[in-house]
Structure 1
Amino acid sequence: MINHNILKYNVTAYCRAMSEQVSSHMPKVGGGPQPDEVNTPNTKKVFRISHVINEDKVNYASTMFTGEALVWWEATFEALKEYDQKNLSWGMFKARLLEKYCPIDMRRRLEKEFLELKQGGMIVNEYETQFNQKAQFATKYIPTGDDKIQLFMEGLRYESTIS
């Protein structure tokens, strides 16, 4: 049985989780549950625990929308061709949600923050957390696991890389 209370969707939190500076620019979506952090480890975990298969993710997530988010999604979905409605992938759903609630300029700023991220005064665990959070917005720069490791290592302080 899927626990619907676990998936409270909040777009405002999506970008805030990636960057503290972003939250003040995100629109508030009123009325009950809101579109959530669709690309976060928590959402992935809920889908895994609830055994939500890829084909059902869009339907499951969109049932959580109310208020402004629901009106937006219904209009967006209705504008799709019948074939696209029946074959809407989770990736396309996330892309449309990001397009609406996380503007391109904000995503570019988050990509830049990721690419410029250095360990600095953070301990390695803090740096790793920041790196992984910001990496979600810069996947085009890390197409492979090796690329991700390389960027991570480049951001470490010199003395952190010596063991």
Structure 2
Amino acid sequence: NCAAKNQVKFATCTLHSVALTWWNTRIQTVGYEAAYGMTWKTLMKMMTGKYCPRNEIRKLEMELCELKVKGTDLVSYTQRFQELALLCGRMFSEEADKIEKYVIGLLDMIHGSVVASKPKTMQEAIEITTELMDKKVRTFAERETVSKRKFENTSRNTQSQQRQQSNK
């Protein structure tokens, strides 16, 4: 949640070892202003090109294509999707492409509702999806509780009737 103008500075401050040496050399080559003036997207392309072999990127792209929500674990799905989307940026020429891919991996029970809501940004898609999933999980839990109560009441009534019959 870093301001766009500070993303490159923040990210490069976390570099270490070989990557830090590479960045310091970059600053010396193009100058401080040019190095820190580049966009986040440009930095990601440079670093991906430098440190991510093409065959590894292909594997990540395949993982992204096959990524689906497991159970109701939307948090893990969203986190992994965002990590892969960062590294596989060339798969998404526009934000709408990324949103579409994110929605494809959702569970059927919320997929249609998310599509119908027509999210304009990834953040909006994530928020809508989270809200819908929470609602579905809550509804399921409430139904389970009601079913359990009905079963317990039926069970108690049956036991009570059996006792009454045995007392006769």
TM-score, normalising length: structure 1 = 0.48
* Greater helix proportion: 2
Q: Higher RCO, 1 or 2 (CA under 8 Å, sep at least 6)?
A: 1
TM-score by length of 2: 0.46
State which structure, 1 or 2, has the greater radius of gyration over its C-alpha atoms: 2
